[in-house]
Amino acid sequence: MKHFILASTSTLFGETYLAYLQPAMKVLYEGIDEIIFIPYARPGGISHDDYTSRAAEVFAAIGIKVRGLHTFDDPGAAIAGANGFFTGGGNTFLLVKQLHEKGLMNILGEAVKAGAVYMGCSAGSNIGGVSMQNTNDMPIVYPPSFATMGLIPFNLNPHYLDPIEGSQHMGETRETRIKEYHTQNTTPVLGLREGSWIYARGKQLTLEGTLSARIFEAGKEAYELPAGSSLTFLQ
C-alpha cells in the first residue's frame, strides 16, 4: 500500500523544523522504528552529516532512529531493505543529480510504490512528481535527467506564491512560470502553499492542511482546490 506525504515546506514561519507536520508524521510512520534520511539537497550547503543530525533530532522525539543514505556502502540495497524514508528540502537540482548519478531514483521510487513509507519536504516533494520541472530552485548543477519518481501523476510547485499585489518587480510570477511550462508540456501542476501537504494512503490521495491549492492543467484556466479535496482526478 502506498503511504506518503509530500509537503510544501519543512518549516513554517516562526516554528521549529517539521513542527507543524508532527501529528501527520506520527500517523505516517506508525510502527516504524528506523528510517533512511536522504540529505542530498543540502540547503545552504549544509553537510550530509549535519543535515542528517538535524532530521534525526526531530525523529528521535517520536521514537524513530534516522540514518543518512550517504553512510551506506550500498545505498541501493539499503533503500530496498528500508521501511521508511524522509527526504529533506534544499536544492532540487542537486538532489536529482545525486539520485540519478548514483542510480537511486528508480530504486527509491519502486520501494515507495511497493509500500515503504515516504515523506518529502520541498525538494523532497518535487521528486515525488513526474518530473522536477516545476521546482523554484536555481540550476546550480546539471542533472542527467529532470525525471523523478512519479509517485503522483502530476508535478508539484512547492512554496507556491500568489502574485504580490503592488509589486514593481518585473520578474515572472509563479503563475506565469507554470503557464510557460504548459506551453511545452501537458503534465498537470499543483501549486502547494506553505503549510499544505499531499497525503497518499493506498488509493486515496488528498490535499491536507488548511489552505487551498492552485491547480494548473494544460489548456485550462488555473483554479483553486479546497483543503481536504481528493486529488485522484488529477492526471
**Residue 115 within binding range of its own copies, rule CB under 8 A:** no
**Residue 98 within binding range of its own copies, rule CB under 8 A:** no
CA 9 to chain CA centroid, Å, is: 8
Burial class (CB in 10 A: 0-12, 13-18, 19+), 4: buried
Largest CA distance in the chain: 53
User: How far apart are the C-alpha atoms of 159 and 115, rounded to whole Å?
Assistant: 27
- Residues between 161 and 200 with contacts to its own copies, criterion CB under 8 A: 161, 168-172, 176-185, 194
User: Does residue 145 carry a catalytic annotation?
Assistant: no
> Residue 176 or 235: which CB sits closer to its own copies?
176
> Residue 79 or 130: which CB sits closer to its own copies?
130
**Distance of closest approach, residue 210 Cβ to its own copies, in angstroms:** 15
Give the H or E element holding residue 4: strand 3-7
User: Does residue 196 carry a catalytic annotation?
Assistant: no
What is the torsional sign of CA 92, 93, 99, 105? Answer: positive
- Tell me the number of residues near its own copies by CB under 8 A: 44
3-state DSSP assignment of residue 16:
coil
Which set of grid coordinates corresponds to residue 183? 506551453
Q: Using CB under 8 A, pick the residue from 21, 35, 132, 207 that binds its own copies.
A: 132
> Residue 116 or 133: which CB sits closer to its own copies?
133
Pattern 53-72, its own copies, x by CB under 8 A: --------------------
User: Does residue 50 carry a catalytic annotation?
Assistant: no
CB 160 within 8 A of CB 8: yes
Write out the residues near its own copies by the rule CB under 8 A: 9, 11-14, 42-45, 90-91, 93-94, 132-142, 145-146, 159, 161, 168-172, 176-185, 194
